[in-house]
Amino acid sequence: MQHHVIRDGLANTNVMKYKLTVLANVVLLIACSQEQNGVLREYISRGNADADIALTIFDNKTFKMDMEIFNVNSENDVIFYIGKWAIEPEDQMVLSFDPIKNKGKNPKYLFYDGNGVKMPEHNSVEMLDEYTFKFNKNDQCIFIWNIMSCVRQ
């Protein structure tokens, strides 16, 4: 009799563990898919000696840019930029950096040097004003901080 109780208890425990594992996997799958659903496009730069850069464009007409700048003699700098985007005209992605939320950071230096020259010169990103930039929405790669950043596949 006692063996049946122990065996039934172990069987119930294994069933409960299985159900919890399945539930945890379903919750994880839903959370991951929701996080990715908002991402329209992401330009990333990885594997270089200067910085990791990610420009993430969301389907709610906002974007964020994360930059981790590698410093040899100190901690890495992490810089965030945020703003809104639009398509104007139909083939140009226009990024408008929020001057208040990006206070103290000049996004011009992401694409241009201190003399107003594009970095590099063949970069497709054009400055419309100090906080607004545009590039062809079909570009698979753009230069950010003189580092090629390409669409994540």
pLDDT at 27 over 70: no
pLDDT band at 47 (very low <50, low <70, confident <90, very high): confident
Q: What is the DSSP string of 40-79?
A: EEEEEE-SSSSEEEEEEEETTSEEEEEEEE--SSSPPEEE
Percentage helix, strand, coil for the chain under 3-state DSSP, each rounded to 5 = 25, 40, 35
What's the pLDDT tens digit per position in 60-93? Answer: 999 999 999 888 677 878 888 999 999 988 899 9
Alpha-carbon distance of 151 to 74, in angstroms, equals 30
Q: In what order do the strands lie in the sheet with 92-97?
A: 126-129, 132-136, 92-97, 77-87, 62-69, 51-58, 39-45, 147-151, 141-144
- Among the listed ranges 9-13, 58-62, 101-105, 140-144, which one has the minimum average pLDDT value? 9-13
